[in-house]
Structure 1
Amino acid sequence: MEKLTIITEDNVELITHLFVPKIDNGKFLLINSATGVKQHIYYSFAQYFAAKGFTVMTYDYRGIGLSKPQNIKGFYASMRTWGARDFKAITQYIKKNFTNHYKYCLGHSVGALILGMNEDSEMFDEFIFVGTQNAFVGNLKWRTKVEAYLGFGIAQPLTTSLLGYFPAHWFGLGESLPKYCAYDWRTLILNKKSTNRLLEKIEDYSKNLKQKVFVIRAEDDVWITEKGVKSLLDTTYPNLRPTHRLIKVSESQKRIIGHINFFRNYNKKLWDIILNECT
């Protein structure tokens, strides 16, 4: 595992890690993290793929994990800067250094939503979507819908306004987020256009993407529904060519997958689901 610092066009330092295989199979896998999820969550998964010959890269968006400033209050970042600047800086590095590799991008949750914000997304040969959808509250199941209205309609804007950042960990929603990342997340949940509403505010390259995409969702992921996944593929990425895989709880050793736990080491046997698609 090699630590790298990549500088964005607006001079923000992103901390990344490169997992280099002993025997290179000519394939490159980039992992775009979920909202508020540090890159170390993906390390075991990355090491597993590196052992199979893949070169794998993980990174933290600005304001998250190792790319987080000492004081997050007042630090400017949004999901749109994650896509248009952070993801862009990463893809520029890959284009320069791994020109001849067959390239995969795994988008976990928001990591798939930001693809349309970066024209370089066209360079990937295939995509893998894990636990992602148009997150509009109307696509959610009843209980999660209530939690989303209370959380993103009341608790999130209130705490963000008072503190100057969103203490997501108070609500079991990952690492604390810069203010405008939180507001973009609120848009994804409460605005009917969801991802498309964010894309309206930025250069939108989503309709240019025509690659194959392997779409995975877990049976026990309460934040993901078939309706939400269909909405994302139909209205945001209509030109991608999807295949789908529903992972049942019974396939997990601990009977836990949810929104994050697919990448936990105890679910290692599930990783072959993706590996088999990439070989």
Structure 2
Amino acid sequence: MTDDTGDQSVHITTPDGAQLAGRLVLPPDGREPRLAVVLHGATGVPRDYYTRFAAWLAQARDAAVLTYDYRDFGASAAGPVTRSGATMAMWGVIDQAAALDWLCDHYPETEIWVIGHSLGGLCLPFHANAGRVARLIAVASGPAHWTKHPLSYMPSVVAFWFLLGPLATLLCGYLPGRLLGLGADLPKGVFWQWRRWCTSRGFYRVDWGQSMPHPTPDRMTGAVTLVGIADDEMMPPERVRRLADFYPAATIRHRVITPAEAGSKAIGHLRVFAERNARAWPLLLDGIA
């Protein structure tokens, strides 16, 4: 992979006035994009984590690839996390839609793809421009529930949702992810709504018509590839398969990637986009012409 892809900073304004910091990676050597892709990241994963994957995709598919950070997080943070009023619904419904709208506005005649990592694959039915999307690749994304993890992972789940997570968030006024060894700090509203979804049998259906609008599932009529990671304890492949229920008008394809296919000992929930697992990246596009 070469490093001569274009890289531009972009600014995305959401309908409610939030400012999202984005990065647009263009095909190398000045080639015209044949494809435009927005990559919606996972919860607590900054846009820069996806930079090398975006550069690879720009080169491999002559794609313009947009990455960005959700409001009050990463490069989009505008002040102390304790002052943030962000929720998971704002990230998934408003911010993701704004990023997709930006891409559609700037590439009105180009085929549009969405790649969604975890949270990034959940909310396309809420987005007005879902009908423009030719393909969604949802990676390690699905309707989670705290009882649907492998037994070996359950102590971590119980601690996060019922012990350390709530206690730390109440004490600090935000989820201190760095302190807890979970990565990034998160706004308290994001944690509490995330917890609500993952401890409710209906997952995010519990907030439809309340803090979230009702989705329009048949907006997405393109192709959907649901990619599970075989050793993902946070989002087991069986839960990824359940995401098909939220895309009833789409053409669904399922794919499970194993660490052995990626030449890795382990991938897990977050590391499929890490450069050390770059051998897995073409597998995300298996069978896509």
| 1:270 and 2:254 are equivalent in the alignment | no
Q: Which moved more, 1:63-72 or 1:36-45?
A: 63-72
1:229-269 Cα deviation digits (max 9, x unpaired): 233322x3333322111111112233221111111112112
State how far apart, in whole Å, the 2-side matches of 1:155 and 1:238 are: 37
| Correspondent of 2:22 among 16, 22, 42 | 16
Match of 2:213 in 1: 203
Letter in 1 for 2:24: L
Letter in 2 for 1:72: V
Letter in 2 for 1:78: T
Letter in 2 for 1:264: A
| 1:28 and 2:36 are equivalent in the alignment | yes
Match of 1:133 in 2: 142
Match of 1:251 in 2: 261
| 1:184 and 2:193 are equivalent in the alignment | yes
| DSSP 3-state at the match of 1:132 | coil
Letter in 2 for 1:189: C
Asked if the contact 2:113–2:135 (Cα under 8 Å) also holds between the matched residues in 1, the reply is yes
Call closer, same or farther: CA 1:154–1:239 in 2, change over 3 Å.
farther
State how far apart, in whole Å, the 2-side matches of 1:129 and 1:225 are: 13
State how far apart, in whole Å, the 1-side matches of 2:137 and 2:91 are: 18
| 1:238 and 2:248 are equivalent in the alignment | yes
- Identity within the alignment, %: 26
State how far apart, in whole Å, the 2-side matches of 1:265 and 1:188 are: 31
Mark the runs of 5 or more structure 1 residues left unpaired by the alignment.
none
- TM-score, length-normalised on structure 1? 0.93
State how far apart, in whole Å, the 2-side matches of 1:170 and 1:194 are: 27
| DSSP 3-state at the match of 2:122 | helix
State how far apart, in whole Å, the 1-side matches of 2:241 and 2:225 are: 13
| 1:216 and 2:227 are equivalent in the alignment | yes
| DSSP 3-state at the match of 1:17 | strand
| DSSP 3-state at the match of 2:142 | coil
- TM-score, length-normalised on structure 2? 0.90
Asked if the contact 1:116–1:199 (Cα under 8 Å) also holds between the matched residues in 2, the reply is no
State how far apart, in whole Å, the 2-side matches of 1:90 and 1:124 are: 13
Match of 2:4 in 1: none
State the shift of 1:104 in Å.
0.7
| DSSP 3-state at the match of 2:116 | strand
Call closer, same or farther: CA 1:149–1:207 in 2, change over 3 Å.
same
| Correspondent of 1:107 among 102, 109, 116 | 116
Match of 2:45 in 1: 37
1:186-223 Cα deviation digits (max 9, x unpaired): 01221111132243432122522332111111111111
State the shift of 1:80 in Å.
0.9
Letter in 1 for 2:70: Y
| Correspondent of 1:4 among 2, 10, 14 | 10
Match of 2:237 in 1: 226
State how far apart, in whole Å, the 2-side matches of 1:246 and 1:84 are: 27
State how far apart, in whole Å, the 2-side matches of 1:91 and 1:277 are: 24
